[in-house]
Amino acid sequence: MLTAHELLGFMPAALSEEILSFADTEDKPLYKATVAAVAQARKFRPVFLLQQPRARRHPTIVAALAKPALDAAAQALLQAWLLKKQTALLCGFLDALGIAHKDGTVDTLPDTVDDAKLRAAVDGALARHAAPVVAVYLNAFAGMNGAKWPLLDEMLRSDARLQF
């Protein structure tokens, strides 16, 4: 499984642009916090980034978020995008596993899941959503939720559909 900063570093540029654009238009506080974190790491003021055209600013932000030092900022960005923009994916995956949730968020995950259900849930997610989006979600799910499901880890390592 990939960490948040690795996900942003490996994902297609169009997807990282979609994620940043979503934050810019739908979650201004998150976008400002992301810009501030990148500016601080790069040792300049946030206004310097914000004055750049979006086409130049976003690749700069993604390049910075792809570094281990900004993993927390990358994680916050991905979590917000997944929870607010990809709710159908989250809900569908959890429903297929029979895991109770509220709009895609879970209080407690089971220690194990049935392998056949997990394969079916992943296949169903890939049938309904773009493969890079599913790959981001499953990597984030495995890494951020502490889900230690051996089959999921194996699928993330070896299933070509879940690779960038």
Domain ranges of the chain: 4-84, 87-162
pLDDT at 107 (0 to 100): 85
Residue 49 CA, distance from chain mean position: 23
Q: By C-alpha distance, which of 86, 85, 95 is closest to 23?
A: 85
- CA 119 to CA 69: how far, in whole Å? 34
pLDDT at 27 (0 to 100): 97
10-37 mean pLDDT: 97
58-71 mean pLDDT: 97
pLDDT at 156 (0 to 100): 95
Q: Over the stretch 101-110, which tens digit does the pLDDT of each residue have?
A: 999 998 888 9
Tokens at 85, concatenated: 């923009």
Cα angle value 133/158/112 (rounded, 5°) = 80
4-10 mean pLDDT: 96
